[in-house]
């Protein structure tokens, strides 16, 4: 009876040890994957930036804002995917709203109806930001 009980305890301890080891290994693997993904996002940004720099000046500024926005949104989405918390999801949605707004503002600067364009951009940003924060509730 004692031998059987000690085998059960030994087996339980081994399973616990293996479980903890796998968890630590998985956590390290997630961190490595996150670093690789962040590097890939930054590389995409650098590539987009080089493409933008070859465009005419009036289009170049919009292109650069779009490239930065895509990078920011991708990084926020990555964090929300790897660490799925409500706060990270809200941060992703806010980053998306801010990127749309910044891009709209840049486009408005080249528009003849600049004032109307800016008002629409601000209303859109405020609505999307409020929707993102309401997601938390």
Q: What is the model's pTM?
A: 0.69
The whole-angstrom separation of Cα 104 and Cα 67 is: 14
Instruction: Note the pLDDT tens digit of each residue in 92-108.
Output: 999 999 999 999 988 88
**Both tokens assigned to 4:** 């059987």
40-64, pLDDT tens digit by residue? 999 999 999 999 999 998 789 999 9
For the chain, list the strands marked E by DSSP. none
The percent of residues in the chain predicted with pLDDT above 90, rounded, is 39
DSSP secondary structure code for residue 83 in this structure: S
Tell me the pLDDT tens digit for each residue of 63-80.
Answer: 999 999 999 999 999 999
In the prediction, which pLDDT does 57 show? 86
Tell me the pLDDT of the chain averaged across its residues.
82
Q: Which has the closest alpha carbon to 83: 21, 24, 27?
A: 27
- Please check whether residue 97 is in contact with residue 75, taking contact to mean a CB–CB distance below 8 angstroms: no
Distance (Å, whole) CA 104 – CA 54: 22
């Amino acid at each position: 009876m004692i031998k059987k009980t000690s085998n059960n305890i030994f087996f339980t301890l081994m399973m616990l040890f293996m479980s903890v080891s796998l968890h630590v290994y998985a956590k390290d693997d997630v961190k490595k994957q996150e670093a690789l993904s962040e590097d890939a996002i930054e590389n995409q940004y650098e590539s987009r930036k080089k493409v933008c720099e070859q465009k005419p000046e009036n289009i170049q500024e919009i292109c650069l804002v779009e490239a930065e926005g895509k990078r920011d949104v991708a990084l926020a989405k990555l964090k929300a995917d790897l660490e799925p918390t409500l706060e990270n999801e809200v941060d992703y949605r806010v980053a998306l709203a801010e990127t749309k707004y910044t891009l709209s503002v840049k486009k408005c600067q080249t528009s003849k109806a600049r004032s109307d364009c800016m008002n629409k951009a601000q209303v859109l940003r405020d609505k999307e930001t409020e929707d993102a924060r309401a997601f938390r509730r």
